[in-house]
Amino acid sequence: MQKVTIVSVGRLKENYLRDACSEYIKRLSGYCSLTIVELDPEKIPEKPSPLQLQNAIEKEGKKILGKIPTGAMLVSMCIEGKLLSSTELAEKIEFSAVGSFSNICFVIGGSYGLSKKVKDISHFKLSMSPMTFPHQLARVMLLEQIYRSFKIIEGSSYHK
């Protein structure tokens, strides 16, 4: 069974988001071994300077780097990443399973972004949209797209 890891800075605060994630986690259990790692965001002042923001992003990046599974295909979720269709994402996930990767690891950075070090070692950078969404919604959207990818791979009608 394919291994999928999501490393995410921040915890889901809203019940409706936790419920949606739980539903997709349940659905994915038949397709992959899923692990979600939540990391605490760095504390920053109410009105942070650019240097304070950069330092927080770098500290979060170090935490993320420590949680990436060995041998994983690393996918960084970031605004400058490539936009893919659901079918193209399914192809990436399928490639990771038949390639030399033991795991595919998606990384969701904190509200202020993802460290350059994490992005630099990524095998792929993925953007969900040029639009802005609430940060916590990213996990729900990613889980749904991973589920949709597995349904595409199996040839299900879910994607239609």
Distance of CA 129 to the CA centre of its chain: 14
Distance of CA 92 to the CA centre of its chain: 14
pLDDT, tens digit (0-9, with 9 covering 90-100), for 41-100: 999 999 999 999 999 999 999 999 999 999 999 999 999 999 999 999 999 999 988 888
pLDDT at 102: 80
Residue 111: which pLDDT band, with cuts at 50, 70 and 90?
confident
pLDDT of 160 > 80? The answer is no
For helices 137-154 and 15-28, angle between their N-to-C axes, nearest 10 degrees: 20
pLDDT at 100: 81
Q: Can you give the residue ranges of every domain in the chain?
A: 2-159
pLDDT at 136: 86
CATH class of the domain defined by 2-159:
alpha beta
